[in-house]
Structure 1
Amino acid sequence: MDFYILGLLVAKPNWVGNFYTTTKCDRSRCCCIYGLITMARVGSNQLRLVTQVDGTGCPPNRYIDTTISLPTSFKTAVYLFGGLIDVKLSSDSRIIDVSNQAAPQCSGSAIRS
């Protein structure tokens, strides 16, 4: 009798890296993350997010540089632009979807470079 051990591969999220935004967010109505998004690990449990923003209601310096808790799953929520923004990472860690429930036209996505 032969015995086989089946191993399950469980993907782990990889939030660290560079991503480029798509054009879903409506800059005429929203402050949108655009261009390059850089996410770098800080210590053992934090993630630094650096990106440019453009559009209506953006801060005068036109960029975001913030540190958040390093997500341990494929989704998290980030406080930006005066509200919570849902952020999901695809199971292959290639695509980030940013969802603004209060203003869906301000949602968007980014692809790993």
Structure 2
Amino acid sequence: MDLISSLIKTNNTKIIVLVIDGIGGLAHPSTGKTALEYASTPNLDILTSEGATGQILPIDYGITPGSGPAHLSLFGYDAIASQIGRGILEAYGVGMNVSGSDVAVRG
């Protein structure tokens, strides 16, 4: 914990974490391009040219996680130990009150 405490700095900088989930699509047969390659992306182009961009390995080499585990890992949770489905994440994300006897399904 001392290491973590030493890394925390107070400042007035605002940070935006933009997760473009599912952006790594496959090329469409008729265009030979992915949706991202084909799209007009002027705002994304500005963000990437003026900001800091990068990639992470959310779980481990050779493991392609679903959105739920990948998002959990972004916030520091161990996605292997925390098996949480996408439905419950989305239910909490929209402010639903969910109890232990409820089932949340993504539609």
Q: Which has the higher strand share?
A: 1
Query: 1 or 2 for the larger relative contact order (CA 8 Å, sep ≥6)?
Result: 1
Answer with 1 or 2: which has the greater Rg: 2
Identify the TM-score tier after normalising by the shorter chain: under 0.3
Alignment TM-score, normalising by the size of structure 2: 0.23
